[in-house]
Amino acid sequence: MRIHDLTTPALLVEAEALEHNLATMAEALPGPRLRPHMKAHKCTNLARRQVAHGHRRFTCATVREVEGLASAGLGEDLLLANEVLDCSRLGRLDARVTVAVDSIETIEAAARGGVPEVLIDVNVGLPRCGCAPDAAGALADRARAAGLEVRGVMGYEGHLMIVDDRVKQAEGVAQAMELLSAAHAQVGGEVISAGGTGSYDLNQLATEIQAGSYALMDTAYRGLGLPFRMATSLLATVVSASAAYAVADCGLKALGMDHGNPEIEGARVWFCSDEHVTFAAERAPAVGDRVRVWPAHIDPTVAYHETLHVVDGETVIESWPIDLRGW
């Protein structure tokens, strides 16, 4: 199949760029130093490629991702880096599953659901999940009293992932990890899980980094000057054109927009609406022309689509189901 045979909008992954990204990260963080985050691509075929590069442990954001990896035979060591109050499905899986906990309620949910291992989730600056650093020790004691094994701690410095001043970013990461280190001193355990694509080379404390977006990349991360290539674009068709601008058939329902507008080479994107992107191009396109639209945030972009089409130039090599979408 040729890419122009695809129905648009279609999510394309450049095979050479993907391989470069996987190999580059494997060299930087070999084996257990990286726990790739499934939320970035939600695709078991891509996860198998990561395993081929030595990354056999995975981070998950949803129960569905954990279940899907276990069913695919990729359940050697799965971390659900998210608080859940119903672990009953997790406890039945033929896989090693660890869940993040940050409260008595989530500890009790893990014990009740038959999940034997937990990490204490610590707030290191992102106002999302995680206990206060000085509360981590007491929660670890409570988890052990409930019969759970506490493997260590996790803390996500997500508020620092796309800081474009690398000196300030490194300083912020160090401060966040000071908080996590203090919590780990109370909790114990062999695991300190943290980090992401934006801090993979800055986080010196974590025993494992939870990067995910590095595999496919997006324009927000590209702006940091990381050694990973833009691998994923959205193929769209121009459906309307005028002298001043053109409109293609992908919009808010096909692109993650929380990091800003997508990009189109040789054009300026004006805005996105539900099913359209409006842009002004250096060379005016005609109705029916195909354009590549580069997303600003890859994780939610992927979640809008059913298939990743792996391409080499104009040829579609493989089509991979994005089989871990949903919850």
CB atoms within 10 A of CB 52: 11
Model confidence pLDDT, tens digit, residues 214-242: 999 999 999 999 999 999 999 999 999 99
Both structure tokens of 268: 């300026």
User: Which pLDDT score is estimated for 62?
Assistant: 98
The answer to whether residues 100 and 240 belong to one domain is no
Both structure tokens of 53: 């590069």
Question: Residue 283's domain is classified under what CATH number?
Answer: 2.40.37.20
Query: What are the backbone dihedrals phi and psi of residue 305, each rounded to the nearest 5 degrees, phi first?
Result: -120, 160
Give the 3-state secondary structure of 70-139: HHCCCCCCEEECCCCCCCCCHHHCCCCEEEEECCHHHHHHHHHHCCCEEEEEECCCCCCCCECHHHHHHH
Model confidence pLDDT, tens digit, residues 76-116: 999 999 999 999 999 999 999 999 999 999 999 999 999 99
What is the C-alpha separation between 209 and 188, in angstroms, rounded?
18
* Amino acid letter, 228: F
**Domain-ending residue, one of 156, 179, 214:** 214
Q: What is the DSSP string of 229-294?
A: ---EEEEEEEEEE-SS-EEES--TTTSB-TT---EETTEEEEEE-SS-EEEEESS---TT-EEEEE
The answer to whether residues 248 and 180 belong to one domain is no
Model confidence pLDDT, tens digit, residues 102-151: 999 999 999 999 999 999 999 999 999 999 999 999 999 999 999 999 99
User: Which pLDDT score is estimated for 168?
Assistant: 97
Report if residue 326 sits inside a domain.
no
What is the C-alpha separation between 202 and 212, in angstroms, rounded?
16
The answer to whether residues 136 and 168 belong to one domain is yes
Q: Could you list the residue range(s) of the whole structural domain that residue 148 is in? A: 15-214
The answer to whether residues 186 and 233 belong to one domain is no
Q: Which value, to the nearest 10 degrees, does the dihedral of the CA atoms of residues 123, 50, 326, 323 take?
A: 180
Pairing type for strands 267-272 and 246-248 reads unpaired
Q: How is residue 326 annotated by DSSP?
A: -
Report if residue 71 sits inside a domain.
yes
Question: Residue 118's domain is classified under what CATH number?
Answer: 3.20.20.10
Mean pLDDT of the residues in the chain? 97
Both structure tokens of 123: 């707030």
Both structure tokens of 141: 């004691």
Both structure tokens of 319: 């089509």
* Amino acid letter, 108: E
The answer to whether residues 125 and 37 belong to one domain is yes
Contacts of 323 (CB under 8 A, 6+ apart): 42, 43, 44, 68
* Number of domains comprising the chain: 2
| DSSP helix/strand/coil, 201 | coil
Report if residue 196 sits inside a domain.
yes
Report if residue 327 sits inside a domain.
no
Strand order in the sheet with 78-80: 58-60, 78-80, 97-101, 117-121, 149-155, 191-194, 208-209
The model's confidence at residue 327, banded by pLDDT at 50, 70 and 90, is confident
Q: Per-residue pLDDT averaged across 304-320, rounded? A: 98
The answer to whether residues 172 and 265 belong to one domain is no
Model confidence pLDDT, tens digit, residues 156-172: 999 999 999 999 999 99
**Domain-ending residue, one of 214, 245, 267:** 214
The answer to whether residues 200 and 236 belong to one domain is no
Percent of the chain whose predicted confidence (pLDDT) is above 70: 100
The answer to whether residues 94 and 237 belong to one domain is no
Q: Which residue has the tokens 């695809």?
A: 6
Report if residue 309 sits inside a domain.
yes
The answer to whether residues 163 and 304 belong to one domain is no
Report if residue 195 sits inside a domain.
yes
User: Which pLDDT score is estimated for 126?
Assistant: 96
The answer to whether residues 7 and 30 belong to one domain is no
Q: Is 254 exposed, middle or buried (0-12, 13-18, 19+ CB in 10 A)?
A: buried
Percent of the chain whose predicted confidence (pLDDT) is above 90: 99
The answer to whether residues 28 and 160 belong to one domain is yes
User: Which pLDDT score is estimated for 30?
Assistant: 98
Q: Of 189, 92, 89, which Cα lies nearest the Cα of 136?
A: 189
Report if residue 276 sits inside a domain.
yes
The answer to whether residues 316 and 239 belong to one domain is yes
> Model's pTM, two decimal places?
0.96
**Domain-ending residue, one of 167, 189, 214:** 214
Both structure tokens of 112: 């009740």
User: Which pLDDT score is estimated for 100?
Assistant: 98
Model confidence pLDDT, tens digit, residues 263-297: 999 999 999 999 999 999 999 999 999 999 999 99
User: Which pLDDT score is estimated for 232?
Assistant: 98
Report if residue 219 sits inside a domain.
no
